[in-house]
Amino acid sequence: MPESAAPISAPDRPLVSVVIPAYNVEEFVASAIESALAQTYPRVEVVVVNDGSTDGTAAAIAPFHDRIVLVDQANRGLAGARNVAIAQASGTVLALLDADDLWLPDRLERCVTLLEQQPEIELVTSDAFLIEDGMRTEKRCYGDRRRYPFPDPGANQLDVISQRNFLFVSVVFQRALLERCGNFDETLPRAEDYELWTRFLLSGARAGYVSEPLGYYRRRADSLSASPDQWDAHLIVLERHLPELWRHGATGRPRDMFEIGQRLAARGDLRGAATFFSRACRAPGVPVETRLRYAGGALRRLVRGTES
């Protein structure tokens, strides 16, 4: 905290509710809960939703019953579990922690301080170390991806979110954003976070970033984000939101727009397909040969559609 900033007493600081959805994570969930309970931030509530687990997850959670808010329910998926946890949470600030990830003790303190000091920032994340093959590494989620650094809050974050989900590590955000934008979309089995962050940014929110690694993000071969269906989910989000993102000056990626055009044409929505094809072909920076390939592919798809 800058020297000029007066310290904020604990009762005046926002209550932070840590939201942990848990589905068949008996091996990891206790460590995740422990890392949330060990935060140096003074006002923390931990809400865990056992989302219909069929392994030993319930037993792994049991030792924490008197220190957490626990919901047991039939399986509703990741978005549904998070929404239920949010409904049970009391905090004005919400923090997402996946049951197989870990936080360092000062993560919430650092993230909430950024929210307090910069009111224009309404959601914040941090860098994190990677856990690969069960081993903690010194690799970093953002720091080792120099091609795609975290976009500055003053930059056009809408343009970045139109191309990729740059908020892929646990996010801490103001509850007011949900009141403004709605909850996680439970119709999406994947990329539900990407879809919500896009709505947040379209509403005028800006995302902040703590560059130090303040936790551990686990890469698992069986995780939803590692599924081959993740690319399809990415396109579903962009098909929904790119038209509005364009109106705000975002560009999107030509490849994404062309593939969305193909999907729309296959469904018989030729008008929608033509819009996405046109954007792909006219996008700045597309090489001439790629532009011609897109144009030829679009023409074939649209002609085929008019003949069917």
| 191: CATH | 3.90.550.10
- Both 186 and 295 in one domain: the answer is no
- Both 89 and 174 in one domain: the answer is yes
Query: What does the block give as tokens for 288?
Result: 């001439």
- Both 216 and 270 in one domain: the answer is no
Q: For residue 142, what pLDDT is reported?
A: 87
- Both 32 and 143 in one domain: the answer is yes
Question: What own/partner pairs with CB < 8 Å and gap ≥ 24 does 155-158 have?
Answer: 156/249, 156/250, 157/201, 157/206, 157/207, 158/201, 158/202, 158/245, 158/248, 158/249, 158/250
- Interior/surface letters 215-249, b for 16+ CB within 10 angstroms, e for the rest: bbbbbbeeebeeeeeeeebbbbbbbebbeebbeee
Torsions phi, psi of 169, nearest 5? Answer: -115, 160
Of 189, 220, 251, which one is at a domain's C-terminal end? Answer: 220
End-to-end CA, the chain? 64
3-state secondary structure of 149: coil
AA identity, residue 11 = P
Cβ atoms < 10 Å from Cβ of 146: 7
Q: For residue 145, what pLDDT is reported?
A: 65
Query: What does the block give as tokens for 300?
Result: 């074939």
Contact 124, 207 (CB under 8 A): yes
Per-residue HEC secondary structure of 163-223 comes to: CCCCCCCCCEEECHHHHHHCCCCCCCCCCHHHHHHHHHHHCCCEEEEEEEEEEEEEECCCC
Of 220, 252, 281, which one is at a domain's C-terminal end? Answer: 220
Question: What is the distance, to the nearest Å, from the Cα of residue 176 to the centroid of all Cα atoms in its chain?
Answer: 17
Number of domain units in the chain: 2
- Both 290 and 216 in one domain: the answer is no
Residue 4 lies in a domain: no
Q: For residue 4, what pLDDT is reported?
A: 43
Residue 2 lies in a domain: no
Rounded distance, CA 30 to CA 20, Å?
11
- Both 62 and 88 in one domain: the answer is yes
- Both 187 and 252 in one domain: the answer is no
Q: For residue 144, what pLDDT is reported?
A: 75
- Both 216 and 236 in one domain: the answer is no
Q: For residue 308, what pLDDT is reported?
A: 58
- Both 75 and 151 in one domain: the answer is yes
pLDDT tens for the chain, residues 1 to 308: 444 445 567 888 999 999 999 999 999 999 999 999 999 999 999 999 999 999 999 999 999 999 999 999 999 999 999 999 999 999 999 999 999 999 999 999 999 999 999 999 999 999 999 999 889 999 998 877 667 889 988 889 999 999 999 998 799 999 999 999 999 999 998 999 999 999 999 999 999 999 999 999 998 665 545 456 889 999 999 999 999 999 999 999 999 999 999 999 999 999 999 999 999 999 999 999 999 999 999 999 998 877 65
- Both 149 and 289 in one domain: the answer is no
Structural domain of 238: 230-307
- Both 25 and 155 in one domain: the answer is yes
Residue 142 lies in a domain: yes
Residue 225 lies in a domain: no
Please state whether the predicted TM-score (pTM) of the whole model is above 0.75.
Answer: yes
Residue 244 lies in a domain: yes
- Both 212 and 251 in one domain: the answer is no
Rounded distance, CA 287 to CA 42, Å?
54
Residue 240 lies in a domain: yes
Q: For residue 169, what pLDDT is reported?
A: 78
